[in-house]
Amino acid sequence: MNRKFEDKLVQLAFGDMSAEEAARVEAEAKTDPIAAQTLASYRDMRSGFSLMSDVPEDQLSKERLRDAILAQGLKPKPVPRFALWSYAWMPVAACAFTFGILMVRQHGKTSEPMVVMGPSATAKAFGNTDVTKLPNLVAMNPPTAKSVDEKLRSTGEDLVDDWGINDSAAQPAVDRSYHGRGGSGTGRSGGRHKRHEPEPQLMANIVLAGGVTVPLAVSDSAPPASAQNSMNNSQAALKKATAKPSGDGPIILIDQQQDAETGAQRATEVGSASNVIVGG
Amino acid sequence: MLLSAVSLVLALSNSWFEEDQLNTREQAMWNRVEPSLVTLVTGNQARGVAACIDNTGLFIAHQASVTGRLMDGRTSKGKVLRFRLIAQDGPSHMMLLQASPWVEGEIKPIPEPTTEPAAGSALLAVLADGPIKAELVSSNRFGVVQPYRRALPLSEIRFERPLPLVGGALIFSENGQLVGALSATLNRANSNFDQNISTAFASMKPVIVYQKGGGAGAGGVGGGGFAPLAAGATRNNNLASGPGSLTTAYAPGTSVLKKVFEGFKSPSHQVYHASIGVFCQDALGGGSQVVTITKGSTADRAGIKEGDVIEHIGSTLIRTNLDFAKLIFDQKIGEKITVRVHRGTEILNIDVVVDRQIMQ
């Protein structure tokens, strides 16, 4: 089967031939098994093209088939220009993801640390609940006692003195700052006007170096005589107007105890140091 | 696509990698301070670092890095020096060491602290095993240090992640100044506020050495002990200190370090703190109420009594005990201050001389 006869077979299969010539070629093809097989193939191909909706019927011609088979096949349908960018989302998504990760990590670096809250913050966290009635929120006890250093006393060294608070005399206490801030969160002066319940007492005895015990009270309702005398009404009114929490920020209490995790001493942030005895 | 994936992996790995590495700026900081430092060792174990502060072989270190009165130290060039503890300051936890044999000029002294770094400044914390980067959160914190009951200005320093055994790290600013030594870390393990308070105060026992008339330093009362070996502690990752993934730490402020430098470099090597010899608590309604007075102190001699409520010092209104402590901290030793106190129905103006106090 030569090239020319194969062209005839193509024309026959795609109907580009007169009926007379078609009959002649078909008869000739039947005598040659290869030609018959080739003709059957072209006819199958034509029927296949017919099923393709995007190939118009009028293009199912010999020329088109020639293009398809003999001259590099069917020409590709023009691809829309935007399709070239259809894969661009991948690098864009990768960049966006990377940016997002970095931003999240950066945000983590600059965020403010969450600190142990002071009394006012604790009170706010509990809303209107009276925090003094909650377990484990009763404020600190007075500082523990320090016995007189007998060794120093025995030396008669009058340049060295000692002091301490007798914790055996100390009563369970409630931090005044809870009262002052539990309701309004406005500090000591603001909270003091809101008190309607009996005031708990913070009482401790001061043991002086000479062994003299002096009661100390910082409760509003039951101050000791010395404290009672020290405050008259006008002074209290003046100080209520000017009192504010200690310090501009949280007070850091640095414990003597070392933190085995960090090798440093333990620090605790508190909102008020009103019960802390400070030297100066 | 492959390129994108590779870029993504590189970007993320670079980001993680950077956290553990000093950048160029931080490396420059480290290069600036490293020649002034020695690593304190016990046996073959590094305990901390000490910084040279003058040309006579005086070194300063945090007490967490000092494990005995005699220690060895290695310079950055590998030379071994012997160090002897000669002085210490309790509230700042700083210790003074004398190196021997000392060859003048061999180690460059660090500059004295002069300026307070601004909040947000990059810092370098130098541990026994090298530098790590840190950030100054605030230099306006105020804290009470046990067992001295001394209120001191503190710097709050933040590290990017929980770090083991950072206690005693020397903190340097970008210009190479020593701006603090890491004394305490925020306790995150006991998140309950009350528990913190109770713990913080349970062991609050005062250790005071009061010195009358500005004489030489007397011996300490229970102070002067060395901290437990920091490097010997084991780390439990479940109980990291500091909030979240951060470590928040505190160091004595620059103003404290100035006093420490001044005292350590003086002939007596003693750090003197301003004091009038009283201990105060917030007074009812405001003011600072005298809880106790040290016998023989200038306040005692001037006539201040327990129960007095200090309302003013000079022209400054005293609202709280910390106001009082802050003001006393800033006083110059030897100056006379007028303390206005309320005693019963009387208001008294009492002149008190600011004395000096050694706390070890």
Which residues are CB-contacts of A50 (< 8 A; sequence separation ≥ 6)?
Answer: A57, A60
Looking at CA atoms only, how far is residue B45 from chain A in angstroms? 15
Compare CB distances from A254 to B184, B193, B222 and report the shortest one's residue: B184
Choice between B162 and A104, residue whose per-residue pLDDT is larger: A104
> What pLDDT sits at residue B350?
93
Among A109-123, A218-232, B335-349, the range with the most confident prediction by mean pLDDT is B335-349
A23: contact with B, CB 8 A cutoff: no
Cα–Cα dist A198/B199, whole Å: 27
Condensed to tens digits (0 to 9), the pLDDT of residues B299-323 reads 999 999 999 999 999 999 998 888 8
Does residue A111 have a pLDDT over 60? no
Q: A113 vs B244: CB contact, 8 Å cut-off? A: yes
Looking at CA atoms only, how far is residue B259 from chain A in angstroms? 16
Nearest residue to B279 (alpha-carbon basis) of A156, A214, A200, A158: A214
Which residues are CB-contacts of B348 (< 8 A; sequence separation ≥ 6)?
Answer: B303, B308, B340, B341, B342
Which chain B residues are Cβ-neighbours of A115 within 8 angstroms?
A: 186, 243, 248
Model confidence at A129, pLDDT cuts 50, 70, 90, reads very low
ipTM of the complex: 0.74
Does residue B21 have a pLDDT over 60? yes
The tokens describing A170, both together, are 């100390």
Condensed to tens digits (0 to 9), the pLDDT of residues B167-219 reads 888 989 888 888 888 888 887 554 333 344 334 433 333 333 333 333 323 22
Cα–Cα dist A1/A10, whole Å: 13
Q: List beta partners, residue A252.
A: A269, B143
Which residue in chain A is spatially nearest to B200 when comparing CA positions? A255
Which chain B residues are Cβ-neighbours of A260 within 8 angstroms?
A: 233-234, 236
Which residue in chain B is spatially nearest to A121 when comparing CA positions? B193
Compare CB distances from B307 to A227, A236, A260 and report the shortest one's residue: A227
Which chain A residues are Cβ-neighbours of B204 within 8 angstroms?
A: 143-144, 256
Compare CB distances from B143 to A165, A252, A264 and report the shortest one's residue: A252
Which residues are CB-contacts of B274 (< 8 A; sequence separation ≥ 6)?
Answer: A280, B328, B329, B330, B331, B332, B333, B354, B355, B356, B357
Pairing relationship of beta strands A265-270 and B184-186 according to DSSP bridges? parallel
Q: A119 vs B193: CB contact, 8 Å cut-off? A: yes
Cα–Cα dist A70/B229, whole Å: 89
Q: B138 vs A249: CB contact, 8 Å cut-off? A: yes
Choice between B2 and B132, residue whose per-residue pLDDT is larger: B132
Does residue A122 have a pLDDT over 50? no
Are B49 and B61 within 8 A, CB to CB? yes
Residue A197's Cβ-side half-sphere holds a number of Cα atoms within 13 Å equal to 11
pTM of the model: 0.54
Nearest residue to A277 (alpha-carbon basis) of B124, B321, B218, B346: B321
The angle subtended at Cα B249 by Cα B248 and Cα B251, nearest 5°, is 155
Q: B196 vs A268: CB contact, 8 Å cut-off? A: yes
> What pLDDT sits at residue A178?
31
Nearest residue to B297 (alpha-carbon basis) of B316, B311, B280, B314: B280
Residues B73-94: what's their mean pLDDT?
89
The tokens describing B331, both together, are 């006083």
> What pLDDT sits at residue A271?
77
Looking at CA atoms only, how far is residue A241 from chain B in angstroms? 9
Residues A24-51: what's their mean pLDDT?
87
A33: contact with B, CB 8 A cutoff: no
